[in-house]
Amino acid sequence: GDKLLRQAAERLTYLARQDDCVARTGGDEFVIVVGKAQGKVQLEALASNVLHSLNRCFYVDEYSIYLSASIGIACYPGDGTTVEALMQSADLAMYRAKAKGKNTHTFFTEDLTVAANDRMALETELFRAMDSAAFEVHYQPKIDIGNGAVAGCEALVRWKRADGTWIAPSVFIPLAEETGLVRRLDMFVLRKACRQQREWREQGLGNVHMSVNMSGRSIIAETFVDDVLDVLGREDMRPEHLGMEITETAFMSNMSEASRAIAALSEQGIQIYLDDFGTGYSSLYYLHTMPIASLKIDKSFIDGINAPFNASNELVKTVLTLASGLGMSTVAEGVETREQIDFLANNGCGIIQGYIFSQALSGSDFATYLKSSAASIAAVMA
Ligand code: C2E
Ligand code: CA
Ligand code: CA
């Protein structure tokens, strides 16, 4: 590593001119201070020279190594009048360059600050929301097309802001994961979902199978399994009626801790679903050794069913064969067309979730749906 850094530094120094200054400011970060006032065109040329120079092969001992870089550019005085301000602007631009896909450069612009501030504001709001009643849980039915009945539901969290607008979980869940708030959020959803399951039971709607999503950070918490059992106890709910959806990525990134939690949950009778299956890096070995009850085939594959020039059909078939061979069930998510249902049914996938049957519904709307589900499912299948 040190040898590589030294060689990279040499190449950068070679590109620098007399009034420029090259510095390494940390880990793998370098700064070039361009001494003589230069226009955008010259700075762009320098950036592309830097990229070309780093892209050429490095020889370190017996290794050949290729590097890429992300470059952020800030100019005095427009983007900052102090060293700190300029560095911060360059940093923001660099993150944007990274997000664009690396090996490119980005000039600082005001909207980068706005984006960074927005994110910070959202983070603060998320912290506050945890203490208020800003989160709701909605329930999306899973349909067993074999018998035309509701097989259960998935709890999906919703965030209502103070101004009445909704923020999608795809926006705030990643933020909550970064800040660690996701543990509190997941436990909140679990409690709420189990309480709802009990309410439906008390209304005579039977034991609805309830699945909740759990982030990787939640399941590796030390007291996680005890906390879950505690919630079940409070709501007088049997573990067989609870499922947990864990993404492949969450599972693979903390394999040993996650495995322990999954084994303990499953021993208690809670079903484990591998969520977004096919989008991460599941190892077949772990599929085989972990007590996973069900694979959820990601919407991106379902979208590709019967699309022209698409390999989705084969992929979906293969996943269904794999699951059945390993004794797991399968759930297809994001099903929107009758064509997709037919393909899935013909290839052995019995549980369907998607807008074709219903979106996620509030607790009371779900109860209404349950009461007339036989008719509405039959209508879709007719
Ligand atoms: P997911 O677990 O893959 O959930 C499925 C998402 O697809 C949901 O989006 C659902 O509303 C949407 N969906 C279902 N059927 C259809 C369909 O036919 N068409 C289309 N276009 N979309 C469909 P949602 O509710 O926005 O949730 C997004 C993601 O946020 C979830 O993806 C899940 O990863 C995460 N999430 C939601 N609630 C929680 C939670 O309580 N805890 C954690 N850790 N993550 C959650
Ligand atoms: Ca899910
Ligand atoms: Ca998914």
Determine the pLDDT at residue 237. Answer: 97
Cα distance between residue 261 and residue 258, in whole Å? 5
Determine the pLDDT at residue 79. Answer: 94
**Residue whose CA lies nearest to ligand 1 atom number 16:** 334
13 φ/ψ angles, rounded to the nearest 5 degrees: -60, -35
**Ligand showing the shortest atom-to-Cα distance for residue 273:** 2
The atom number, within ligand 1, closest to the CA of 212 reads 41
Determine the pLDDT at residue 179. Answer: 80
Distance 126 CA to ligand 2 centre (A): 21
Listed residue (359, 368, 358, 361) closest to 203, CA to CA: 368
Determine the pLDDT at residue 43. Answer: 94
**Residue whose CA lies nearest to ligand 1 atom number 40:** 213
Asked whether the whole model's pTM tops 0.85, one would answer: no
216 Cβ below 6 A of ligand 1: no
136 Cβ below 6 A of ligand 1: no
Distance 334 CA to ligand 3 centre (A): 8
79 Cβ below 6 A of ligand 1: no
Listed residue (269, 223, 358, 187) closest to 195, CA to CA: 187
pLDDT classification of 257: cutoffs 50, 70, 90 = confident
157 Cβ below 6 A of ligand 1: yes
189 Cβ below 6 A of ligand 1: yes
Cα distance between residue 162 and residue 121, in whole Å? 13
pLDDT above 70 covers what percent of the chain? 100
| Confidence check: pLDDT of 283 > 80 | no
213 Cβ below 6 A of ligand 1: yes
The angle formed by the CA atoms of residues 141, 145 and 148, to the nearest 5 degrees, is 80
Which conformational region is residue 164 in: left (phi greater than 0), alpha (psi within -120 to 50 degrees), or beta? Answer: left
Determine the pLDDT at residue 308. Answer: 80
| Confidence check: pLDDT of 354 > 80 | yes
Contact call for residues 90 and 72 (beta carbons, < 8 A): yes
pLDDT above 90 covers what percent of the chain? 71
Q: What does the pLDDT look like over 56-92, one tens digit per residue? A: 999 999 888 889 899 999 999 999 999 999 999 999 9
Buried/exposed 99-130: b ≥16 CB within 10 Å, e otherwise: eeeeebbbbbeeebeeeeeeeeebeebbeebe
> What mean pLDDT is reported for the chain?
92
Distance 297 CA to ligand 3 centre (A): 8
336 Cβ below 6 A of ligand 1: yes
From 177, 185, 213, the mutation candidate for ligand 1 (largest count of ligand atoms within 8 A of CB) is: 213
Cα distance between residue 330 and residue 352, in whole Å? 9
pLDDT classification of 238: cutoffs 50, 70, 90 = very high
Q: What angle separates helix 169-179 from helix 110-129, to the nearest 10 degrees?
A: 80
The atom number, within ligand 1, closest to the CA of 137 reads 41
182 Cβ below 6 A of ligand 1: yes
